[in-house]
Structure 1
Amino acid sequence: MILIEAARRILQEIQPCSIRAVCYRLFTQKMIPDMGKKSTGAVGTQLVFARETGLIPWAWIVDETRAAETVASWDNPEQIIETAVAQYRKDYWAMQPRRVEVWSEKGTIRGTVAPILKKYGVTFRVLHGYGSATSIHGIAQETQASEKPMIVYYIGDHDPSGRHMSEVDLPERLHRYGGSASIVRLALDDGDVGADSELPWFPVGDKVNDTRYQWFIKRFGQRCWEVDALPPPVLRARLDSAIATVLDLDAWQHAIKIETAETDSMKNIMGYFKASISRLDPKYSEGQA
Structure 2
Amino acid sequence: MTVYEASPTNRRSTKTAMEELYSGLLAICSTMQPMTVRQIYYQATVQGLVEKTEAGYVRVQRALVHLRRTGRLPFSYIADNVRWQRKPETWRDPQDAMRATARFYRKALWDDADVYVEVWLEKDALSAVVYDVTDVYDVPLMVTRGYASLTFLHVAAETMRAIGKPTFIYHLGDYDPSGVNAAEKVESSLREYAHGLPITFERLAERPEQITAWNLPTRPTKTTDTRAKNFGEVSVELDAIDGPRLRKLVRDALDKHMPAEQLEVLKAAEQSEREWLESWASVGNAA
Please indicate the TM-score interval, normalised by the length of the shorter structure.
0.7 to 0.9
Q: Is the aligned partner of 1:214 residue 2:229? A: yes
Contact 2:120 2:172 in 1 (8 A): yes
Which residue is 1:171 aligned to? 187
One-letter identity of the residue aligned with 1:234: R
How big is each residue's C-alpha offset from its partner over 1:156-176, in whole Å with a ceiling of 9 and x where there is no partner?
Answer: 11110111122x211222233
Q: Secondary structure at the match of 1:270?
A: helix
How big is each residue's C-alpha offset from its partner over 1:235-277, in whole Å with a ceiling of 9 and x where there is no partner?
Answer: 111211110111267765554454334223212222221221x
Which residue is 2:165 aligned to? 148
- When residues 253 and 198 of structure 1 are mapped into structure 2, their CA distance, relative to the original with a 3 A threshold, is closer
Q: Is the aligned partner of 1:15 residue 2:26? A: no
Instruction: Report the TM-score, using the length of structure 1 for normalisation.
Output: 0.85
Kindly state the Cα deviation for residue 74 of structure 1 after the two structures are TM-superposed: 2.1
- Pick from 84, 98, 101 the counterpart of residue 67 of structure 1: 84
One-letter identity of the residue aligned with 1:174: L
One-letter identity of the residue aligned with 1:228: D
Give the share of equivalent positions with the same residue, in percent.
27
Which residue is 2:234 aligned to? 223
Contact 1:96 1:251 in 2 (8 A): no
One-letter identity of the residue aligned with 1:171: E
Which residue is 1:188 aligned to? 206
Structure-2 separation of matches of 1:88 and 1:145: 24
- When residues 59 and 88 of structure 1 are mapped into structure 2, their CA distance, relative to the original with a 3 A threshold, is same
Contact 1:158 1:188 in 2 (8 A): yes
- Pick from 117, 124, 149 the counterpart of residue 134 of structure 2: 117
Bigger CA drift: 243-252 or 118-127? 243-252
- When residues 248 and 29 of structure 1 are mapped into structure 2, their CA distance, relative to the original with a 3 A threshold, is closer
Kindly state the Cα deviation for residue 117 of structure 1 after the two structures are TM-superposed: 1.6
One-letter identity of the residue aligned with 1:116: V
One-letter identity of the residue aligned with 1:55: R
Bigger CA drift: 23-32 or 67-76? 67-76
Q: Is the aligned partner of 1:34 residue 2:45? A: no
Instruction: Report the TM-score, using the length of structure 2 for normalisation.
Output: 0.86
Q: Secondary structure at the match of 1:177?
A: helix
- When residues 275 and 239 of structure 1 are mapped into structure 2, their CA distance, relative to the original with a 3 A threshold, is same
- Pick from 274, 277, 282 the counterpart of residue 263 of structure 1: 274
Gaps of 5+ in 1: 277-289
Contact 1:102 1:123 in 2 (8 A): yes
Q: Secondary structure at the match of 2:91?
A: coil
Gaps of 5+ in 2: 1-18
Bigger CA drift: 239-248 or 2-11? 239-248
One-letter identity of the residue aligned with 1:269: W
Q: Secondary structure at the match of 1:152?
A: strand
Kindly state the Cα deviation for residue 80 of structure 1 after the two structures are TM-superposed: 1.3
